[in-house]
Structure 1
């Protein structure tokens, strides 16, 4: 694979961590000396319920610490413990992913007449591997392209695999890369799968999942991407 093609794949597939705007424009919430906001957010009750906190719609120091811990774990910024739209959006997505259970292709959207195929549901940020109608692996949470760098939809094929892929432009590792569309690839990252706002087009996976996909797929295998990622 020539360097030009390799560079192109890296630029399109490179993941990026960009801080989202978690608060509405205007005055920022008041903060205590600990850096934790003292203001209840618009999704306070929903966030409290998700975290198993008393649902009263009022911000307490304990609420803030719990929200902050969640934000820090998933790279949500600013991590001030504010129950804003980005934080609730991540929690709501997690809830919807959990509800899928072991039937990710219940609607039959991913083709069942292709044999071994990797499916990617952008709407739910889930991926799985099936063989015909049989579920082989997953579903697992993934992190796809953010606004302006959307992971392209449609039926594709794995065309290039590089287990130790590294960006020649930015020296950024992209382990277990399996390219399927003009530089967009499955690959491992060291980020939360719920880290907003998303990748630069690639389908990010945890190291464990990326390794499993590497063992299950080969050049020529089908990939089907459908739906629309929240926020794109």
Structure 2
């Protein structure tokens, strides 16, 4: 064999083969070229592989996607609160209904776009927190600006006999017979300058087609209980809602309900007007 010739010798025991020269000296191990090591992986301390050159590099954690709080089609008290809060900052112009419809979705989209948020129309956690930071907790009257507040707990004076039980807190009139609610309707009261009197009274006069001699306005289905103050239908209340007030009377805006009530109430029935 010529001097310098390289002879490949296989080592026993499963070891890797090495190149040796004629003198039996081992040649230095071959090194991989740069092109061969491109894309090679390094092993992390935990034993997993990582791309070469990334060992010890810090990874920026990704924020989780916002979660949905409320979405179109939902109903409930939180939807009503969403609408009331949007109304406080002039993004929602209807009375809160508790139903997440098209107008609510449109208002949410506008609110989101104004603040650089994804314009989805769905209320996610980011949108909700931003809205909470810009508004205050809605009052009960704001939540039910269109009416429909659940009736207050009846005054104890309403629990016996036939009573027109009228709560200023919930703005409701509940017709009660022997402690049971027969019907409930939204009502409106006098302003601070012409307040509706609180207390216990009795119906002393009913006038189906009454017209006020003082203000020259129609007072259909009037049931008088204290001086010139009466429970009666109000077309103004039906048209404008709580944007107006009476001159002391208890206004009802649902004509069908008060027509039915008028047919049932008799002179001598109790009327209780209370604040709680």
Shorter-chain TM range is 0.5 to 0.7
* Cα distance in 1 between the residues matched to 2:88 and 2:165: 35
* Cα distance in 2 between the residues matched to 1:196 and 1:48: 13
The TM-score normalised by the length of structure 2 is 0.49
Find 2:256's aligned residue among 191, 204, 208.
Answer: 208
Structure 1 stretches lacking a partner, 5+ long: 1-39, 61-84
Find 2:186's aligned residue among 120, 125, 141.
Answer: 141
The equivalent of 2:144 in structure 1 is 93
TM-superposed CA distance for 1:214, in Å, is: 0.9
TM-superposed CA distance for 1:135, in Å, is: 1.2
* Cα distance in 1 between the residues matched to 2:260 and 2:219: 15
The equivalent of 1:226 in structure 2 is 274
TM-superposed CA distance for 1:184, in Å, is: 0.6
* Cα distance in 2 between the residues matched to 1:162 and 1:122: 24
The equivalent of 1:114 in structure 2 is 160
Alignment of 1:40-51 (within 5 A): 42-44=88-90, 50=96
* Cα distance in 2 between the residues matched to 1:92 and 1:203: 21
Tell me which structure has the larger Cα radius of gyration.
2
* Cα distance in 1 between the residues matched to 2:154 and 2:185: 17
CA deviation map 1:28-85 (0-9, x unaligned): xxxxxxxxxxxx974346768936413367399xxxxxxxxxxxxxxxxxxxxxxxx9
* Cα distance in 2 between the residues matched to 1:89 and 1:108: 18
The TM-score normalised by the length of structure 1 is 0.57
TM-superposed CA distance for 1:112, in Å, is: 4.2
> Aligned residue pairs: how many?
159
Partner of 2:201: helix, strand, or coil?
Answer: strand
Alignment of 1:103-182 (within 5 A): 104=151, 107-137=153-183, 139-182=184-227
TM-superposed CA distance for 1:123, in Å, is: 1.4
Distance 1:46-1:130 versus aligned 2 partners, 3 A rule: same
Are 1:58 and 2:106 matched, yes or no? no
